[in-house]
């Protein structure tokens, strides 16, 4: 393996993006809306297409706004269908994002003659290429700044509104009666998810986004029952996944005699492995610990029944 500053930047960008996703992801998981990340990441396609058709360029800023608006609309439509139609929220989400994605696909196909917008590119991203696109003379990749900005914004919002978010995540009705609109918190969270998703998209692809919104928070949830600890553990897990994922992308294919593979996919896999470790060995919820505990409990019960008590 040949580690260069290139690799360091890939890990840094991946980690920034992963942590930026993991923070709002904790609240998504607690609010039982884990699939929202997947929905939003598909549903931004028409936003990207419209922004492109209007401005005619692939400039980042209009694309960013188009996608963010589409993301928030997904949350809004899902909420409306679920509430007014009395439909299960998962189903509402599925209908909204498939429809938006289909609209986006048709728009792109109709404009295909003069559009260079590949849906595959949106889905996979190219984390490996990010260090090439630097800002000015600094040598810092643009993706690091974009994702770092998203991370900073999410961190600030969560720190400032920490107790409101906590209340909203665990008891929306109580939040409402105490005067914090849980609706407002919901849409703020959705906006955060949409903006983070879009920020991450262009540079690293949607797989990392979907995985990092769900898997590190789920891992943290297996290790703690406290919200601050959950946020911290999720962030650490996310950053660690980025590092392990990139190292894995360089090493693992060699075992099969193949070239390096995509880092995004391997980051998702690394997060999955960390989750599995927590699932097995978590000191409070792990399968192994539970087995041991039930055996410890079973022995005295067995002895007592032998002794005829």
Partner 1 sequence: MPELAEIIEVVLLQNYNTRLVVLSTTLLGVAAGLIGSFLLLRKRSLMGDALSHATLPGVAIAFAIMVTLGGTGKSLPGLLLGATISGVAGLFTMLLIRNTTRLRDDVAMGFVLSVFFGIGVASLQMVQSLPGASAAGLESFIYGKTASMVQSDFLLIAVVAGIASLVSILFLKEFLLLCFDDAYAAAQGWPTFFLDVLLLGLVTAVTVIGLQAVGLILIIAFLITPATAARFWTQRLLPMMLLSAAIGGVSGWLGASISALTPNLPAGAVIVLVAASLFLLSMLFAPPRGVIPRLFRQYRLRRKVDRQHFLRAAYEILEEEQGQGDVSNTPFPRPALQSKRSWSVRELRSILKIAKREDHLEPAGPGMLRLSESGFGEAARVTRNHRLWETYLIYYADIAPSHVDRDADLVEHILGPELVHELEEFLEKESVTTPVPPSPHPVS
User: What is the SS3 assignment for 141?
Assistant: strand
| Binding flag, residue 109, partner 1 (CB under 8 A) | yes
Residue whose tokens read 């792109």 = 108
| Binding flag, residue 261, partner 1 (CB under 8 A) | yes
Dist CA 28 CA 180 (whole Å): 18
Nearest approach in angstroms of CB 193 to partner 1 is: 13
Dist CA 230 CA 305 (whole Å): 42
Nearest approach in angstroms of CB 293 to partner 1 is: 14
| Binding flag, residue 210, partner 1 (CB under 8 A) | yes
User: What is the SS3 assignment for 134?
Assistant: strand
Nearest approach in angstroms of CB 248 to partner 1 is: 8
* Given 1, 173, 258, 307, the residue binding partner 1 (CB under 8 A): 258
- How many residues form the binding site for partner 1 (CB under 8 A)? 61
Nearest approach in angstroms of CB 36 to partner 1 is: 9
| Binding flag, residue 213, partner 1 (CB under 8 A) | yes
Nearby residues of 208 by Cβ (< 8 Å), 6 or more positions away:
14, 17, 18, 21, 125, 127, 200, 264, 267, 268
Radius of gyration (C-alpha) of the chain in whole angstroms: 22
End-to-end CA distance of the chain: 64
Contact positions vs partner 1 (CB under 8 A): 29, 32-35, 37-38, 42, 81, 84-88, 90-95, 98-99, 101-103, 105-106, 109-110, 112, 119-120, 124, 207, 210-211, 213-215, 218, 221-222, 249, 253, 256, 258-259, 261-262, 264-269, 271-272, 275, 279, 285, 287
């Amino acid at each position: 393996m040949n580690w260069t500053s290139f690799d360091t930047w890939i890990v840094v960008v991946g980690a920034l993006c992963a942590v930026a996703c993991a923070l709002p992801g904790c609240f998504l998981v607690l609010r039982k809306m884990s699939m929202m990340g997947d929905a939003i990441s598909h549903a931004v396609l028409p936003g990207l297409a419209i922004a492109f058709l209007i401005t005619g360029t692939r400039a980042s800023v209009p694309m960013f706004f188009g996608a963010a608006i589409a993301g928030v609309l997904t949350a809004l439509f899902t909420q409306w269908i679920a509430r007014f139609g009395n439909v299960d929220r998962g189903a509402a989400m599925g209908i909204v994002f498939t429809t938006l994605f289909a609209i986006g696909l048709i728009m792109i196909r109709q404009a295909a003659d003069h559009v260079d917008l590949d849906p595959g590119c949106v889905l996979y991203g190219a984390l490996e290429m990010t260090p090439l696109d630097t800002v000015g003379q600094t040598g810092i990749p643009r993706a690091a700044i974009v994702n770092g900005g998203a991370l900073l914004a999410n961190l600030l919002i969560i720190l400032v509104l920490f107790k409101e978010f906590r209340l909203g995540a665990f008891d929306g009705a109580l939040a409402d009666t105490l005067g914090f609109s849980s609706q407002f918190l919901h849409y703020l969270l959705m906006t955060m998810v949409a903006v983070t998703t879009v920020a991450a998209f262009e540079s690293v692809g949607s797989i990392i986004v979907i995985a990092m919104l769900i898997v590190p928070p789920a891992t943290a949830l297996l290790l703690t029952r406290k919200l601050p600890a959950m946020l911290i553990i999720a962030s650490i897990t996310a950053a660690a996944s980025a590092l392990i994922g990139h190292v894995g992308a360089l090493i693992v294919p060699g075992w099969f005699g193949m070239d390096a593979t995509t880092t995004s996919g391997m980051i998702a896999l690394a997060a999955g492995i960390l989750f599995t470790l927590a699932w097995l060995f978590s000191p409070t919820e792990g399968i192994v610990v539970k087995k041991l505990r039930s055996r410890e409990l079973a022995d005295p019960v067995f002895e007592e029944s032998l002794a005829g008590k």
